[in-house]
Amino acid sequence: MYKDKWLANEKVFRDPVHNYIQITHQLILDLIDTKEFQRLRRIKQLGGSSYTFHGGEHTRFSHSLGVYENARHICDIFSRKYPIEKEGENGWDDSERLVTLAAALLHDIGHGAYSHTFEQIFHTNHEEFTAEIILSEKTEINAVLQKMGIDFPQKVASVIQKTYPNPQVVQMISSQIDADRMDYLLRDAYFTGTQYGFFDLTRITRVIRPYKDGIAFLSQGMHAVEDYIVSRYQMYMQIYFHPTSRAMDVLLVHLLKRAKFLYNAGGRADLFLATSPRLIPFLKGDYNLYDYLKLDDGVLNTYFSEWSEDVDEILSDLAKRYRNRKPLSSIIVKDEKEHLLPTMRRFVEEFGYNADYYTITSSSMNLPYDFYRPNDTHSLTQIEIMRKDGTLVELSTLSPLVRAITGESVGDRRFFFPKEMLQKTDGQLDLLEDVTLKFQKHVHNGELV
């Protein structure tokens, strides 16, 4: 057990977003030093977006530290301005500090190599792995958490799973404006070299306050909250939904899909035994936590290098395209043009590509802000504005700006295909030229027509 929760001398991490990240508890320092947390240094935060915005090479390690720092700062504000001793049931109980900080630090601990894309092919679930890493008695994370008490790992996991009984703690880690989003918007904007994600974090943390059912924001800070919502909207439109980033993710999906096919139905199990043994449990669909923790972005990148020289033309070509940043092209597909997609796939096949691996139709949709709808299956916690008399009002009822984008899904639906379909190569066979001309007839101003 920890004899003293607080460090005699705080430790700091120098950070480009928060300047200094202050480690004030031995528990947090010990969690950072575990092998499971250090693994996050080897997993990029932005995945395919780093191929579009070359500065976006930051990791889930640095993001997790940033989320911790935001939570620590909010805990300090709540403890100083709104202690339970002064505010009663609407105040902050600082005995919740350590479970809050641990959950903030560990909220992404279950993310794996090329997380969301990998999950799509191998049906892993980073949220389930997060809970398992925290709760398994075979992890260093669990051993550290148990020093706070035998039930402490379960408390931390329940915060991340949104079942912890204190809604203030849960909403600080996961809501529409939380320590997680506050960090990744600023961090992703900084490292991608864009301005879209910047908002007034200082002002937001000055007007944030607890109440018995969660977290609210004082009315005098409403414009800072509006700015945050608009920044989030812009980051999704300009960064996370960028066509090239999505095209690189599509390549990775097809590359892993081809590997899975070759292992299970293509008679090439020997290839993966020789070049990519740590991936075999996932190709077989028989993996456990320890298989999962052996993978990171660097391991997969090494495997892609080996595959780029394989005799299978599709595997080799997709690996080369991904490693050398040769993304697929794409066009927007409106609902009324959906019927043309089989024709476009046929043209790609006639050109010589396997449409199963060189085409895909992909949607990207996100709600920049949506108020709480209790009857929705995936209802979202609304942003509450606290007026001077202490009453709470949902943000969009006060803000015309937010109301204009409330409930509106943003994004588009795209058809991805080889860039060669839009090019004319000298010496191209007449037949192939005819195919590309037919294909190009349906493409105008980046849309399917």
Sequence-distant (≥ 6) Cβ neighbours of residue 165 within 8 angstroms? none
Report the pLDDT averaged over residues 436-443.
88
> What ranges make up the beta strands (E) of 16-165?
19-25
Question: Percent of the chain, pLDDT > 70?
Answer: 95
Q: What is the pLDDT of residue 339?
A: 94
Amino acid in the structure at residue 283: L
One fold for 6-241 and 243-327: no
Is the per-residue pLDDT at 375 higher than 60? no
Tell me the pLDDT of the chain averaged across its residues. 92
Q: What is the pLDDT of residue 342?
A: 95
Q: What is the pLDDT of residue 426?
A: 58
What DSSP string describes 207-226?
Answer: HEEEETTEEEEEGGGHHHHH
Is the per-residue pLDDT at 373 higher than 80? no
What phi-psi label fits residue 162: left (phi over 0), alpha (psi between -120 and 50 degrees) or beta?
left
* 175: Cα separation from own chain's centroid: 15
Sequence-distant (≥ 6) Cβ neighbours of residue 122 within 8 angstroms? 256, 260, 282, 285, 287
Q: What is the topology classification, in CATH, of domain 243-327?
A: Growth Hormone; Chain: A; (1.20.1250)
Is the per-residue pLDDT at 416 higher than 80? yes
- Tell me the β-bridge partners of 214: 211
Model pLDDT for residues 221-240, shown as the tens digit of each residue = 999 999 999 999 899 888 99
- Given CA atoms 15, 142, 295, 418 in this order, what sign does their dihedral have? negative
Cα–Cα dist 369/405, whole Å: 7
- State in words which class domain 6-241 has: mainly alpha
Cα–Cα dist 127/71, whole Å: 20
Burial status of residue 342 (CB atoms within 10 A of its CB: 0-12, 13-18, 19 or more)? exposed
Model pLDDT for residues 302-328, shown as the tens digit of each residue = 999 999 999 999 999 999 999 999 999
Is the per-residue pLDDT at 432 higher than 90? no
Residue 86 burial (CB count, 10 A): 10
Asked whether 176 and 383 are in contact (CB, 8 A), the reply is yes
Q: What is the pLDDT of residue 431?
A: 65
Count of alpha carbons within 13 angstroms of residue 445, beta-carbon side: 1
The confidence band for 445, taking pLDDT boundaries of 50, 70 and 90, is confident
Residue 395 burial (CB count, 10 A): 24
Q: Which of 41-50, 90-99, 135-144, 370-379 has the lowest mean pLDDT?
A: 370-379
Count of alpha carbons within 13 angstroms of residue 189, beta-carbon side: 20
Model pLDDT for residues 165-218, shown as the tens digit of each residue = 999 999 999 999 999 999 999 999 999 999 888 999 999 999 999 999 999 999
Model pLDDT for residues 396-407, shown as the tens digit of each residue = 999 998 888 887
- Tell me the β-bridge partners of 44: 59
Q: What is the pLDDT of residue 425?
A: 58
The domain spans of the chain are: 6-241, 243-327
Cα–Cα dist 337/194, whole Å: 34
Cα–Cα dist 163/87, whole Å: 24
Model pLDDT for residues 265-288, shown as the tens digit of each residue = 988 999 999 999 999 999 999 999
Is the per-residue pLDDT at 3 higher than 80? no
Helices (H), 364-405: 395-398, 400-405
Is the per-residue pLDDT at 381 higher than 80? no
Is the per-residue pLDDT at 376 higher than 70? no
